[in-house]
Structure 1
């Protein structure tokens, strides 16, 4: 039955780069409402879908995470949503999206979800890539080992969605089908078990669920997450005091509670893996061969700079036909309107203000959409992670790691989403430092100005060398150097701190999901037209008004001529 406050609620959770959002889009038909979680800058995506038995269901896209352990308020969103901690309502079902080619690492999160006591369905994604990786997974045996339903899918192509929907419908009808006992238990380690019981007693009553092990699961989460330097919100003082005391006593005795908890889960996974996973050894893949070049300390940088030069040259070479077509179309429209309409102020406003204003907005779209397209392709193919790896050697000199360069590179498109992208960085100091320098990157709003200046100084067709593209590349490169220099100064003065090591997943190279990429382009296009376009249009009309008023009568014009 639906929840008392509305329809059934499903949370879609999983590691980054597992196809979680692709599955979310498939389930909801991309009818998603995007907002923000209260108090943080993490996007909140909620959609609807209909099932034969459960009826209308609300689907929530949980931010990607490797573990429910959290250090920041942004990371805390994942545990709050899947566990239903205040102010969120508890979901009726959690769909855990698992990358079949990285099964053991992904199953760590699944164990945490099972421990929380919510019904779980495992969506085993990317099974089409198993053969290439030299692995074979038995979904039925995996289901027997976990105790919860497992359905193999290929979210990118929509394969396996029908069985998954049937399974979701069945679990919503009978939640016991998605519940399972803990595969492992902290009771196997007496010292850890004593710590967990002490923390469990401090879990607030509104968090716990009497008669279940939910409080014990949250106690494990608190032992992994709460410490002196965390940025978590709404942690009860009593719980924080107990956790800090237990962690301090463990350190004195030479124990590391985090390692004990993590090792307990991975010991079970390693022991159970032969039952459902057969690994014949991964052959040399296209990703391996490509990374030999793209991750090379010297050649990798050459390739990266070459790609950036190609991108910026294409902003002129590929966008010029579309820009010329838009200019000719609006010039024809203005001439046609002037010829068809009677003389007067309304016609002057339309021909001299509105039509040129709309044209001056749309003429920027080809270059802006091309820039967003290239950045989207870099993200979807997995190349953006390689850029972060390459830049780590430079970023560590600034007290940051390579992941900080990804928001900076995204700042080429727009500074606002680039600043929001800093939420993936663990330390508050790193997020602040990156956010302070991202606006120095050359964003797409400056691209029209650069384009006009370069087109004025260097007309097209002036030679065989791609001078326009090289100039634009130089301008973007200069802004990047200035940004890195500013980060170096701020990192040594206002925001000093130790550098943290880079932990980065290198996803295999994949073809972009073109429908999702086109949807992103449409969203960015609409944002530009709505926010920047209205300003440009109003300024164009204002300029027309300043040039047109005060208006003089024909007699006045004749008098001025005679004078």
Structure 2
């Protein structure tokens, strides 16, 4: 059985690389008008015009093959076939027609590595008349150049035919740029550099391509501060001998980079027939990048977004609540009283339904974030935030994962791979979980909608939308302050901050299809991943709250009392008292009472404690847990009431309300700061390679949450607020 050909797609960030991958494969990988979207390899099959099947690899966007970041290392390993990966038969390099010289730098590197290259010339519609002539560019680069507009399906057949020709030509011998022989450099290295390259080439690992280009890569990438994995000790020693000082290493970098760009400036730059018209972009940026006006616009946009989560989503939420209420009532009418009926009504419907009602808000949040990302606006926000990030010792690139943290901390932590240094990645991982993710949104929405009336502040600002904005601002401010403290108090997180460089992409009309696809994919992930956790936890919590169905010795004989009751109203009251007593004596009730002394200073009772314990599996489980708790403790007349109504009606033994606005604020503060997500801790363990950092993350966030909630609740009581 012959091995299938492998063709890689490479390119600078934001050059349409993943869009081309999706168009060729029918895949639905995430795309965006923002650097740093792809952080791992993706592979999908493609059928070529000659019937051959090839595997197409989408590798992370990179500006060069110097492996200083995780993305660059993934790109290099994929292109060279390291770590037992198949070496690509060819590589499609996406070249941005609006940034021709910079984009073709990667083409030069790939050709030096001995790879057959196909250039996909993208963004030609944005370049307009300034776009280079593809035939002239092909003559200069010595490879096929195919103009492509993947969004519109233009040039895809030409790329497929070029892939056929590349597959036939792949694996040629030493004289044609194969794995043997010297690199086909378009510039001439100095004699000193050539000697150093030869020294390093002699000790390259046997599994690596034995080329001068790989030896040059080692000279420019391997040093005592790098974070490269599996680099042979002999190779490190040879590089250290060839580069005995940082000055020598810097001289090598300068010589190579200047020589490459000198060739590009002489041969490629003349093909650019003018500069794209960016007048409109510059005018908009004069406002959006202004330190005052830009922040005001950003805050205004976020306020409108969060207010819309209530105003636009509430009808859909109400409809879903009514549907689940109807489903629960229908099952109660059909099935006789039994454990099965309790499981279906109090466990599955009450628990899962109380979380699914917030799906409309999650969809809206992802929709707005997708519009801002696809338009290029989020890159401007990153630029604005860099001054603040710098003051908190965070790298500017940390804004990308921190912003992604508004959706989910797991992909946000993966996005830290775009940063060069381990210190920057670790520090960002430690604060990303503080960002308000979509799993916290159901908790905030439940508390705000239940305890805060839909009024206005100063007759202008809606109370509910303003509270939601403040919670998001609180989480962002806390994350920044935490970064400042950790960077000064935790030794591994201390380091000099590197300058932040980000490309500001041109403004583009958001592609509605891509935005909707991204919105659906993220929401589907929420339903599939979180849904499974919620389902398992809901059933487990229902069992904990339903068993044992016995009362302790000395408890009232409720059965006899109900039988002797004078009327239906008295019977219902006694039945409700019995259900409450059974709930308190259940395994879950006992657990809640055990932790109640710890959380009581925060304003929480044992029922909230049960919800907090359940939320350690996933934050959104807190809502389903309360749904189960209050279903298990409700009488028949309350069974159709929504969870929000039950929370508002919950009272203590002395008749005082359990939930007050102050308790609600304390609860939201706790959830804003606590690390109640096992998935987040798992991905931190995977990225850091051990238990040290996830345990530290869990410990400091839980402590911070308790202290902050304690200060809010007890401080509010001292001020007479609760």
Under a length normalisation based on structure 1, what TM-score does the superposition of the two structures give? Answer: 0.89
1:37 match? none
User: Larger radius of gyration, structure 1 or 2?
Assistant: 2
1:478 match? 474
1:238 has 2:234 as partner: yes
1:284 and 1:276 mapped to 2: Cα distance? Answer: 19
**Deviates further, 186-195 or 410-419:** 186-195
**Deviates further, 339-348 or 416-425:** 339-348
How much has 1:358 moved relative to structure 2?
A: 3.4
How much has 1:264 moved relative to structure 2?
A: 1.2
2:72 and 2:314 mapped to 1: Cα distance? Answer: 43
Distance 1:534 1:556, change over 3 A: farther
Q: Which of residues 392, 398, 402 in structure 2 aligns to 1:404?
A: 398
2:520 match? 522
Query: Does the Cα contact within 8 Å between 2:46 and 2:55 map onto a contact in 1?
Result: yes
1:257 match? 252
1:226 has 2:222 as partner: yes
1:559 has 2:553 as partner: no
Query: Does the Cα contact within 8 Å between 2:64 and 2:106 map onto a contact in 1?
Result: yes
**Deviates further, 17-26 or 362-371:** 362-371
3-state SS of 2:510 partner: coil
1:73 and 1:542 mapped to 2: Cα distance? Answer: 40
Query: Does the Cα contact within 8 Å between 2:101 and 2:269 map onto a contact in 1?
Result: no
1:118 has 2:115 as partner: yes
1:493 and 1:103 mapped to 2: Cα distance? Answer: 45
Distance 1:555 1:306, change over 3 A: closer
3-state SS of 1:59 partner: strand
Aligned pair count reads: 544
How much has 1:472 moved relative to structure 2?
A: 0.8
1:95 match? 92
Query: Does the Cα contact within 8 Å between 1:141 and 1:275 map onto a contact in 2?
Result: no
1:417 match? 411
1:467 and 1:493 mapped to 2: Cα distance? Answer: 38
3-state SS of 1:141 partner: helix
Q: Which of residues 259, 272, 289 in structure 1 aligns to 2:283?
A: 289
3-state SS of 2:131 partner: strand
- Structure 2 spans left out of the alignment, 5+ residues: 31-37, 552-556, 567-573, 575-722
Under a length normalisation based on structure 2, what TM-score does the superposition of the two structures give? Answer: 0.70
Query: Does the Cα contact within 8 Å between 2:187 and 2:263 map onto a contact in 1?
Result: no
2:262 match? 267
Distance 1:353 1:274, change over 3 A: closer
1:337 and 1:28 mapped to 2: Cα distance? Answer: 45
Q: Which of residues 384, 388, 394 in structure 1 aligns to 2:378?
A: 384
2:322 and 2:239 mapped to 1: Cα distance? Answer: 69
Q: How does 1:139-538 map to 2 (within 5 A)?
A: 139-175=134-170, 184-209=185-210, 215-248=211-244, 251=247, 256-274=251-269, 276-279=271-274, 281-341=275-335, 344-460=338-454, 465-494=461-490, 495-538=493-536
- Residues 234-283 of structure 1: CA distance to partner in whole angstroms, max 9, x if unpaired? 1122222222222226826x96110100111111111102553222x443
1:71 match? 68
1:81 has 2:97 as partner: no
How much has 1:363 moved relative to structure 2?
A: 0.7
1:32 and 1:297 mapped to 2: Cα distance? Answer: 34
Query: Does the Cα contact within 8 Å between 1:100 and 1:124 map onto a contact in 2?
Result: yes
1:274 and 1:522 mapped to 2: Cα distance? Answer: 42
How much has 1:185 moved relative to structure 2?
A: 4.2
- Residues 127-168 of structure 1: CA distance to partner in whole angstroms, max 9, x if unpaired? 11112xx61310001011111111001112221111111111
